[in-house]
Amino acid sequence: MYVFFVLGENKIFDMTAKGCAMSEECVDGSINFGIVRTVHMTSCCTTPLCNNRFQDYKSIPNGKKCFSCKGEDCTRTVNCEGEENHCIKMTANAAGVRVELKGCASKLMCTDQVTSLLTMYSGLQYSCCQGDYCNSASSASPALLLLLVPLFFSALFC
């Protein structure tokens, strides 16, 4: 498993783990809010000691576009990358302030199972849609981006 968070152009968290897993745990997923992106990759195999290397991650735009927020401006565009084929809109209440985040997400992040787990463990509410800019461009409260994104993934994969 390989998990990393990117802030702007800089990787701010990077974790690699090796071990045994059930086949349903061999999944890839990412969320891209423009300035912050997090990626979870697994590389599974079935022969003894085959987990001695990881595939390289390449950030390649895929042509899909979604709205993204910077501060209260949620009319910015984020270019989706790799398997990010959905737009996402995430809402949370942090210290009494409503926070809205928008960006791109891979199919895994938009499944009913992931949605219900995240809502149950983190209180985050979110919705996914397909189609360019389908996550609407309404304004949001100031984004607590750096606090919410790691929380989002720690609730899902820890």
Let me know: does 105 contact 111? Beta carbons within 8 Å: no
Name the strand (E) or helix (H) holding 153: helix 145-157
Q: What is the mean pLDDT of residues 79-88?
A: 93
Q: How many Å apart are CA 64 and CA 80, to the nearest integer? A: 5
22 burial via Cβ count (<10 Å: 0-12, 13-18, 19+): exposed
Q: Using one digit for the tens of pLDDT, what is the confidence trace for 3-37?
A: 666 766 677 767 777 777 777 777 778 889 888 88
CA distances (Å), origin 73, targets 37, 50, 70, 100, 137: 18, 47, 5, 10, 8
- Per the model's pLDDT, the better-predicted residue between 106 and 72 turns out to be 106
Q: Domains plus CATH for the chain? A: 2-46+66-157 (2.10.60.10)
Angle CA 14–58–74, to nearest 5: 80
> Measured on CA atoms in the order 131, 116, 158, 50, is the torsion positive or negative?
negative
pLDDT at position 87 over 90: yes
Q: Using one digit for the tens of pLDDT, what is the confidence trace for 92-139?
A: 777 778 788 899 999 988 888 776 766 776 677 888 999 999 998 654
Angle CA 115–119–120, to nearest 5: 115
Pairing verdict, β 36-41 and 61-70: unpaired
pLDDT at position 155 over 60: no
pLDDT at position 158 over 60: no
Q: Output the pTM of the full model.
A: 0.71
pLDDT at position 153 over 60: no
pLDDT at position 2 over 80: no
CA distances (Å), origin 59, targets 104, 109, 112, 117, 147: 13, 18, 26, 27, 23
CA distances (Å), origin 99, targets 69, 76, 102: 10, 16, 10
Let me know: does 33 contact 78? Beta carbons within 8 Å: yes
Q: How many Å apart are CA 64 and CA 101, to the nearest integer? A: 18
